[in-house]
Amino acid sequence: MDTKNFLNKFYEKYGNRNDKPVLFFSPGRVNLIGEHTDYNGGFVFPCALNYGTYLLIRKIKSNILRFSTLNFNDDEETVLKGLFVNKSKKWINYPLGVINEFIKRGTQITGLEFLYYGDVPNGAGLSSSASIEMVTAVALNELFSAGLITLDMVKMSQKAENEFVGMNCGIMDQFAVGFGKKDHAIFLNCDTLFYENIPVVLQDCSLIITNTNKRRGLTNSKYNERRAECDKAVELLQAYKPLKNLSELNTDEIHLLDKFISDPVVSKRAKHVISENGRVTEAVKVLKENNISRFGELMNLSHDSLRDDYEVTGIELDTLVYEGRKLPGVIGTRMTGAGFGGCTVSIVKNSDSAKFMTDLSATYLKKTGLVPDFYQPEIGNGAGRLDL
């Protein structure tokens, strides 16, 4: 990040070079395994990335909020006069939702100038939305001395996305963005929020993220439909035993699903969630044992379940995964994020990584007409202030 250039862009936008803004950063995240389990109270295994959202922010003596981004040409300005309402299809819904949560807590927000820049691809499934929310929350917490701990801001950011933006996401994204630790992934129980930082040591391999470059808007996708199907499964399984969420069942109980759930689609959704929780717990165990080969096999099984039982993949993701598995040096590969487009995450031997990207790009273009983007990320820290 060229902070000097970023600062100059801020001054070009807002003027007054004698009043220096403050710089904050919040990462994106990639989930190594454990998909669509978070809102079912299950286990996930994400890590923060060295890609994310940068924010320059400055207080001003007015009741105006000014928003701008270097990612596209869409400046916004609004007046502080109580709680905000959703601005249909506007990117500023993410920071506005967070600002609302601070106002509800009694924080006295004054006029502000915001300039955002993100190097997480928007709509790629790497949590650009949670990154924007958390960088806004961390900045407001510091500038207005709100005294919030990280978990407070994680919960507020999730609430902003659920209730203000209208995306019924679980807590994983904001949690990973807030609590990320360099070179570690987070083994998180999304029901209790108990977590453990697990070192990620991939030996002679690296992570490669591949972007399908198929955009999908989650609020218009079948994400919320999947949530409803899981809720229906919980309702039907009450005849078996009292349940708050699907993750209270273990893999030994999968065979009971068809007995209590007559709808085969709802049964498949439940099967994915329960089996995925089992894969996450095993994945953490084998990673601690440095068994990267088995970790990769579990990644592969995860994708197969997301394709067959949860049905959230599609031709683009499946092409990247199943063509990728044919290439040398690929330990494991799967979709990551909500699906319906977005990205895959792969573990690939360093000696084969260049060929993996070249060959997969050619095959993917031939089969889909799209050109993928590749990222070789480092695992970074969570949201916080940076020095200018």
What is the set of active-site residues? 173
Give residue 147's region: left, alpha or beta (phi > 0; psi -120 to 50): left
Query: Residues 333, 320: contact at Cβ < 8 Å?
Result: yes
* Contact indicator for 177, 28 with CB cutoff of 8 Å: yes
Give the three-class secondary structure for 164.
Answer: helix
Contact criterion met (CB below 8 Å) for 200 and 345: no
Report yes or no: 273 and 37 within 8 Å, Cβ to Cβ: yes
Place of tokens 């105006």: 64
Residue whose entry in the numeric block shows the structure tokens 């915001």: 114
Residue 265 C-alpha from the chain's centroid: 26
The first and second tokens of residue 180, run together, are 């990320």
Going from the C-alpha of 90 to that of each of 25, 214, 245, the distances in angstroms are 21, 20, 33
Q: Look-up: residue for tokens 């995450």?
A: 345
Element (H, E) at 131: helix 128-143
